[in-house]
Amino acid sequence: MADRKAKPQRPRRWTPMQAQGVIGRMVVPAMLLTMAAIYLEWLWLLVPAGVLWVIMLIILFLYWRCPACGKTLPKMGRVHECPGCGTKID
Ligand SMILES: [Zn+2]
């Protein structure tokens, strides 16, 4: 019985693909808010935009991981399996 914390036992609400879907729905309003803030010079719009970006980063950090080994997955491109352990991601 090894004592090492090899596998995080936290309950996961979202799979990586679900997290990606959530981020995919947030990224457009976040970009629009950021662009509107810059073009219209409504700098207060950067506040909700910044909150959205931070939430997306947190989701990415927490859920964009292999469900089997807990390694973070590549941030770009389509991921079908974990580069660390080969588990299918879906
Ligand atoms: Zn893995």
- Centre of ligand 1 from the C-alpha of residue 89, in Å: 9
Question: Band of the pLDDT at 44, cuts 50, 70, 90?
Answer: very high
pTM value is 0.73
- Of 13, 10, 90, 8, the closest CA to residue 59 belongs to 13
Show the tokens assigned to 39: 């073009």
Distance from C-alpha of 11 to C-alpha of 31, rounded to nearest angstrom: 31
- Centre of ligand 1 from the C-alpha of residue 66, in Å: 5
Domain limits for position 19: 14-90
- pLDDT for residue 59 is more than 60: yes
Question: Band of the pLDDT at 67, cuts 50, 70, 90?
Answer: confident
Q: What is the mean pLDDT of residues 11-27?
A: 86
- pLDDT for residue 3 is more than 70: no
Residue 36 and residue 45 in contact, taking contact as beta carbons nearer than 8 Å: yes
Task: Establish if 3 belongs to a structural domain.
Answer: no
Q: What mean pLDDT is reported for the chain?
A: 86
**What per-residue confidence (pLDDT) applies to 6?**
60
**What per-residue confidence (pLDDT) applies to 24?**
93
- Centre of ligand 1 from the C-alpha of residue 49, in Å: 32
Task: Establish if 51 belongs to a structural domain.
Answer: yes
Number of domains within the chain = 1
- Centre of ligand 1 from the C-alpha of residue 65, in Å: 8
Task: Establish if 4 belongs to a structural domain.
Answer: no
Task: Establish if 73 belongs to a structural domain.
Answer: yes
**What per-residue confidence (pLDDT) applies to 81?**
87
